[in-house]
Amino acid sequence: MNNLVMNKLASRRNILRGSAYGAAITVGVPFLDCFLNSNGTALAATGAALPVCFGTWYQGLGFNPGRWIPSTVGPGYKNNVELQVFDPFRDRMNIISGTKYFLDGRPLETHTTGWQIASQGAIPTGVSTGASLDSQIADVIGTRTRFRSIEVAIGGGRQSFSKRAGSATNPSEPSPAALYTRIFGPEFKDPNAAEFTPDAMTMARDSVLSAVKEERRDLMKLVGAADKARLEEYFSSVRQLENQLALEMQKPDPLPACTVPGTVAATKDGPDVPDAEKNAKIFGRLMAHALACGQTRVVNVTLGSNGLHSVGSQQTWHSLTHEEPVDDKMGYQPEVTWFINWANARFVEFLRELDGVKEGSGTVLDRMAILWQTDHSYARTHTMDALPIMIAGRAGGRLKTGMHVSLPGDPATRVGLTMQQAFGVPIKTWGGLSNETSKTVTEILA
């Protein structure tokens, strides 16, 4: 076998290196057999479980009352009409109904307050806020990956509900092509590549960053407490960058399910449904690959519901929720419902992408939990009770699934608290004022 053929093989398979009688030998074997244990749940070499991952999916404007709550609670529930699209994943999902966002006398900023409670557990009083739950989880599970988290916006813009403590919002990426370059561009190190040569420029960058570290930090001495916190956020971001460089300089652990997706061509990003649909599909694929390749363990998706818009219509999804009459015969707003179904189809598509990456007997979806939340239960009247919440994935066995849990009148933050505890965030309570809770949803904790 000449070198050329060998290299080709090596790039498609993983290489086991060893030595026999002092002479280096290289043996190519199919990776699933060599790196995973028999269940596919752990790396054979170290016995370490495949890491758990977390995701959020923020889809505004709720569902139609009477069309989504399953008629029975507990396991074996049957999906109501609006959620039947999730039937293939029913046993690997949970539906939580009945919870509320509490205003505590604060004014309702429609399509804002709900998101704040969903993501931060409380209504902030100023620009500076607490960290969002995904950030709390990322600080536990995402510190050793290239990206602490990845945010995308379906429908254009850079809206994101992922916040660090203080005033920093992790901005969403609206362009799949830009996301591809960010993750799989020149700085990506394929964990399964046979050869690894650290780049001289990367090593020099790392040294230069070290050389200016003290010079940068002395700024901290000159500012007040509020600005110190903002600088701390900056330095925390710089550490993430240093972490990326460190990872680029060492050979990554092989991840058998990791394959590099094909290049992504530039697409139009914006709120027109055909563009959003196309981009949602690519985003899903890229995030599945990024998770399988160990580039991040937290992904946040904002589906920009409010601006979404069918080509040729004078209305957006949001304006339709207020302005479209309820059809007398159907009992709901037909065009709004079309958008709900469309958005749910995007979420299912995302789950399929995650489930499509096989790792032994499981999939990436199995070691994840994706928390689906919304801003208003019924957008037509801006209600914030009887909220729909969904969780997809078992988080590597940390969650029980296949359940409909009804928690009438309870704060929705119970679910956020449950997620954070499941992922090891050391908190007993979460949320502010009436949204504060110390009760997890024990039904779904494994």
Partner 1 sequence: MRSLLFRTTALLIALGGLAACSADTSKQTVSAPAAKTAAVQKDAVYAPRQLVMRRLSGEQYQNVIHDVFGPTIELGGRFEPDLRVGGLLAVGSGDVSITAAGIEQYDTMSRRIAGQVVDEKRRDMMLRCKPANAAAPDDVCAGQVMARVGRILYRRPLSQTELQAYVTAANVGAVKTKSFYAGLQLSLAAMLSSPKFLFRTEMSEPDPDHAGGWRLDAYSKASQLSFFLWNSGPDQILLDAADSGKLNTRKGVAEQVERMIASQRLEEGVRAFFIDNFGFDQFETLTKDTTLFPKFSAQAAADAQEQTLKTIVDLLLKNKGDYRDIFTTKKTFITQELGAIYRIPVVDTLPNGAPDTWQPYEFAATDPRGGILTQVAFTALHSPPGRGSPTLRGKALREVLLCQKVPAPPAAVKFDIVQDTNNPLYKTARDRLAAHANNPVCAGCHKIIDPIGLALENFDGAGAYRTTEQGAKIDTSGMLDGVNFTNAAELGKVVHDNPATTSCLVNRLSAYAIGRPVQEAAWLDDLKQRFSASNYQLPALMREIAMSDNFFAVVQSETKAAATEAAPQREAR
* Cα separation, 60 vs 405, whole angstroms: 21
* Structure token digits, residue 60: 């505004």
Minimal distance, residue 63 CB to partner 1, in Å: 17
Helix (H) or strand (E) holding 218: none
**In 1-121, which ranges are continuous DSSP H helix?**
3-12, 31-35, 113-120
Minimal distance, residue 170 CB to partner 1, in Å: 5
In the complex with partner 1, which residue's Cβ is closer, 222 or 265?
A: 222
Identify the CA nearest to 157 among candidates 359, 255, 303.
303
Beta strand pairing status for 387-392 and 358-359? unpaired
Non-local (6+) Cβ contacts of 132 within 8 A are: 119, 120, 161, 162, 163
The answer to whether the CB of 321 falls within 8 A of the CB of 299 is no
In the complex with partner 1, which residue's Cβ is closer, 306 or 363?
A: 306
Minimal distance, residue 195 CB to partner 1, in Å: 21
* Cα separation, 256 vs 33, whole angstroms: 9
Minimal distance, residue 138 CB to partner 1, in Å: 10
Minimal distance, residue 438 CB to partner 1, in Å: 28
In the complex with partner 1, which residue's Cβ is closer, 203 or 266?
A: 203
In the complex with partner 1, which residue's Cβ is closer, 23 or 218?
A: 218
Minimal distance, residue 66 CB to partner 1, in Å: 17
In the complex with partner 1, which residue's Cβ is closer, 238 or 260?
A: 238
In the complex with partner 1, which residue's Cβ is closer, 100 or 398?
A: 100
Q: How far is CA 273 from CA 64, 280, 309, 373, 403, in A?
A: 20, 10, 6, 21, 32
Minimal distance, residue 51 CB to partner 1, in Å: 19
In the complex with partner 1, which residue's Cβ is closer, 47 or 186?
A: 186
Q: How far is CA 364 from CA 17, 112, 368, in A?
A: 27, 32, 7
* Structure token digits, residue 147: 């990206």
